[in-house]
Amino acid sequence: MSSHKMQWGWVLVLAATCGFWWEEAGPIFAQSEQAVEVTIKDFKFVAKQGVLRLGFPTVIKIRNEDAEKHDFGSTMFEGIPTQVEKDGVIVYGRGVGGVFLDPKREVAIRFNMSRPGHHEFRCSIHPNMKGELLLLSAEAV
């Protein structure tokens, strides 16, 4: 008789209403922080990510490939310690609402994944660009 250990993980699902692409990343234990890569292209959010776990350091890397300025804003960062890295400058604190990205620029937002649930994000400049972050529990064997 074999015994199986059950572990509970958390999954962050990134679904953009204007575009969506999913690619599984390597094992999360092989790296010190979990990553979500978001590319803004053709006025759509395109995401690349693997399974993310609650309570682990997380980075959302955003790159604007369009020729226009865009915003990546979400209430999920409000009230939690957040660090934003852009062009060699690091800004940190609580209450970050989001970031504006000029054309062909990128930014990294670091925080601890601590809030399960539904988290919307949007581009305040282009109201049709929006999506959601959904942190769900997932059973792993």
* Confidence category of residue 13, pLDDT binned at 50, 70, 90: very low
Q: What is the pLDDT of residues 55-66, one digit of tens each?
A: 888 899 999 999
Total count of residues recorded for the chain: 141
pLDDT for residue 69 is more than 60: yes
Residues 6+ apart with CB under 8 A from 131: 14, 15, 16, 17, 18, 20, 45, 120, 121, 122
Q: Is 119 exposed, middle or buried (CB count within 10 Å of its CB: 0-12, 13-18, 19+)?
A: middle
CB-CB contact of 119 with 76 (8 Å)? yes
Q: What is the pLDDT of residues 14-40, one digit of tens each?
A: 444 434 333 333 333 335 888 889 999
Give phi and psi for 27, each to the nearest 5: -60, 140
pTM: 0.73
pLDDT for residue 94 is more than 70: yes
Domain map of the chain by residue range? 7-127
Q: Domain 7-127 classified CATH 2.60.40?
A: yes
